Amino acid sequence: MSEVADATGAHAGVNVTVPAAHHPVNVETMFAGLPMLCEKPVAPTVAEGLSLAAAAEERGQLLMISQSRWYVQGLTQQKALTGQLGDIGVVTTDFFKAPHFGGFRAEMAHVLLVDMAIHQFDALWFLLDQDPVSVYCEEFNPSWSWYSGAAAATAMFQPSGGPGTRVYG
């Protein structure tokens, strides 16, 4: 057991900090000897994501990123029904939300993709049971948006199932 666990009685860490703090909080907690559950995004760059994986491996700690939509009852029911339909050729999803969160989200460069629509993309991968192998995305910020960064996007994914399947988000 770690000194942190001994001193606090903690058995794990849950990271719900702003995205910019995910990396340092995850690393500090794992180096203190505790496994970590972190919400998305795991990191803003591939390099930071690999750094977190290395820290978890070095310390022998679990680092888990929440995929909370996988446990929504309606989504699991939809997956069961979708599996009965046969091969899937095209999947589309639209996501519209107009929250005035304020704070760090108002200043994020890619607020829609990183903070909000990522959950819809995650749900698509759960439904398809495939990994994305490529993506084409255009994002922009409408003139009426109160966000500093891109608050709208169109994305097209190629799942591992081959060129016959397309996912539009």
Domains of the chain: 3-65 (3.40.50.720), 73-168 (3.30.360.10)
Instruction: Identify the residue whose tokens are 């989504």.
Output: 75
In whole angstroms, what is the distance from residue 130 CA to residue 132 CA?
7
Q: Which of 2-6, 53-57, 64-68, 103-107 is modeled with the greatest confidence?
A: 53-57
The pLDDT score that the predictor gives to residue 6 is 66
Residue 168 β-bridge partners: 92, 156
Is the pLDDT at 68 greater than 60? The verdict is yes
Confidence band, pLDDT 50/70/90 cuts, at residue 168 = low
E strand map for 7-131: 13-15, 36-38, 63-65, 90-92
**Identity (one letter) of the amino acid at 3?**
E
Mean pLDDT of the chain: 84
Q: Which residue did the predictor score with more confidence, 57 or 157?
A: 57
Q: Which of 35-44, 47-56, 118-127, 160-169 is modeled with the greatest confidence?
A: 47-56
Cis peptide upstream of residue 99 (ω within 30 degrees of 0): no
In whole angstroms, what is the distance from residue 144 CA to residue 50 CA?
37
What number of H helices and E strands is found in the chain? 6, 7
Record the tokens describing residue 99, joined without a space: 């929250």
The pLDDT score that the predictor gives to residue 36 is 95
| Angstrom distances, CA of residue 32 to CA of 6, 10, 49, 52 | 11, 11, 19, 14
In whole angstroms, what is the distance from residue 114 CA to residue 85 CA?
31
Q: Parallel, antiparallel, or unpaired for β 152-159 and 132-140?
A: antiparallel
Give the least confident one: 10-14, 72-76, 129-133, 162-166.
Answer: 162-166
The pLDDT score that the predictor gives to residue 2 is 63
